[in-house]
Amino acid sequence: MSILYVTKETLDQMKAELQHMKAVERPAASKAIAEAREKGDLKENAEYDAAKEAQGILEAKISRMETELVNARIVDTATIDTSKVSILTKVTITNRATQKSVTYQIVSEKEADLKQQKISVTSPIGKGLLGKKVGDEAEIQAPNGKLIFTIDHISV
């Protein structure tokens, strides 16, 4: 897995979520399995099968979260270079075809939220904007065709 660049707040949220899964959800899953086991023959016990499957999904989530935390690196916004587009910068771009401008913040996959104008560094637009400077053009191959953006402004 690659390095996951996150803010301190996101790292704290991830740690809290992992702690909740281990301290609350894991015991609840074990209890559900125990209760289903008490109901008799395990071969014909759909409740037991469902509880075991839910436990497997939870354990996979815990494992994935632990790996993400090991690979997480905090990015301090005070040290970000705004001369070019990088993770955690806010970039205002203009679509050359429509002349519409929009401002996005480039964030990790974990923090991406289009409703909050936060796009993933691994998305087609995020990848296409990385390293660009004000005045540069970015050609981005999107699912609906090629988009050309002009970089108008970069900030934190």
Domain range list for the chain: 4-74, 77-155
CA 20 to each of CA 2, 7, 64, 85, 100: distance values in angstroms, whole numbers, following the listed order? 25, 20, 14, 35, 43
Whether the pLDDT of residue 130 is over 60: the answer is yes
Other beta carbons within 10 Å of 145:
8
Two structure tokens written together for 144? 């609906």
Contacts of 92-101 spanning 24+ positions with Cβ under 8 A? 92/151, 92/152, 92/153, 92/154, 93/129, 93/138, 93/149, 93/150, 93/151, 93/152, 94/149, 94/150, 94/152, 95/147, 95/148, 95/149, 96/137, 96/148, 96/149, 96/150, 97/147, 97/148, 101/152
| Among 36-45, 73-82, 139-148, the range of highest mean pLDDT | 139-148
Two structure tokens written together for 59? 């354990």
The residue written with tokens 């759909």 in the block is 46
| Verdict on whether the full-model pTM lies above 0.75 | no
Whether the pLDDT of residue 44 is over 70: the answer is yes
On the 0-12 / 13-18 / 19+ scale of CB atoms within 10 A, 109 is middle
Cβ contact 143:71 at 8 Å: no
pLDDT computed for residue 81 by the predictor: 84
Question: pLDDT digits over 97-124, tens only?
Answer: 999 999 999 988 888 899 999 999 889 9
Amino acid (1-letter code) at residue 9: E
Q: State percent of the chain over pLDDT 90.
A: 58
pLDDT band, very low/low/confident/very high, at 49 (cuts 50, 70, 90):
confident
Amino acid (1-letter code) at residue 38: E
C-alpha 32/C-alpha 47 separation (Å) is 9
* Spatial CA neighbour of 152 closest among 139, 130, 133: 133
For domain 77-155, give the CATH number. 3.10.50.30
Which CATH number is correct for 4-74, 3.40.50.970, 3.40.50.300, 1.10.287.180, 3.30.70.20?
1.10.287.180
